[in-house]
Amino acid sequence: MEDATQAQAYAEADFSEPHQSFVAHFARLFPDFRGGRVLDLGCGPADVTIRFARAYPHAAVEGIDGAEPMLRLGREAVTRAGLEGRVTLTWLRLPDTKLVLRGYDAIISNSLLHHLADPRVLWQTVAAAAKRAAPVLVMDLLRPESAAAAQALVNQHAPDAPPVLQRDFYNSLLAAYRPDEVAAQLRACAMAHFEVGAVSDRHWLAWGHV
């Protein structure tokens, strides 16, 4: 989202339910995780990044994103949250060798996969950047069965959103993957041991240890 209007609309939208659910899913699936260096792939305006840092006070979270307007809003949010000491946001577009062998203690990603031209880029980055046995949680939109079903989800979950956000939500739903497709991506990247499943009418979750 390079357009400042798009980024502002996204940052101002209320994603508290799915974003807090993401953090809750991580806590449920990885109860032994206490902290360390965490990579947030596709952090956007940093709402999930901030929620994760608050949930794990012993974590230092590095968010990366390829849209500078999103990062500007994210940095403002990090400052307001008083988390500048533990949260850093960096401009970076995948694939990027800067992340190779960084040895992150955990990797998280929300709603990035459907933006990538080649989905393997995400999974290959995860494998290259994570410490061995690091927990990984990825969540993204779930493609509905039809364009009509996508529009119904927009009508249900974003009836009062600005038109630009409704349009982006609709297009993102149609660009998203289904759990069986994600499982195939994981097998192709030697990550078949990861689990994948739908967790709402519009989201799937993939998780496992590298």
Residue type, 69: P
In the predicted model, is pLDDT for residue 26 greater than 60? yes
Q: What is the pLDDT of residue 4?
A: 63
* pLDDT at 14 (0 to 100): 61
Residue 155 inside a domain? The answer is: no
Query: Is residue 5 predicted with pLDDT exceeding 90?
Result: no
Tell me if 159 is assigned to some domain. Answer: no
Structural domain containing residue 27: 4-143+177-209
CATH assignment of the domain containing 89: 3.40.50.150
Q: Tell how far CA 6 is from the center of its chain.
A: 17
* CB burial readout 168-205, b (16+ within 10 A) else e: bbbebbeebbebeebbebbeebebeebebeeeeebbbb
Instruction: Flag the least confident range among 25-34, 47-56, 155-164.
Output: 155-164
Question: In this predicted structure, what is the pLDDT of residue 16?
Answer: 85
This prediction has a pTM of 0.93
| 192 assigned to some structural domain | yes
Confidence check: pLDDT of 1 > 60: no
Query: Can you tell me the distance from the alpha carbon of 153 to that of 148, in angstroms, rounded to the nearest whole number?
Result: 9
69-111: per-residue pLDDT in tens? 999 999 999 999 999 999 999 999 999 999 998 999 999 999 9
110, with CB counted inside 10 A (0-12, 13-18, 19+), is buried
Give Cα 174 distance to the centre of its chain. Answer: 17
- How many angstroms separate the CA atoms of 107 and 61, rounded? 9
- Model confidence band, residue 159 (pLDDT cutoffs 50, 70, 90): very high
Q: Provide the mean pLDDT of the chain.
A: 94
Domain count, the chain: 1
Residue 8 has pLDDT above 80, yes or no: no
Q: Is the peptide bond before 95 cis (omega within 30 degrees of 0)?
A: yes
Residue at 161 is within a domain = no
Judge whether 168 lies within some domain.
Answer: no
CA distance 24 to 116: 26
In a domain, 160, yes or no: no
Q: What percent of the chain has pLDDT over 90?
A: 89
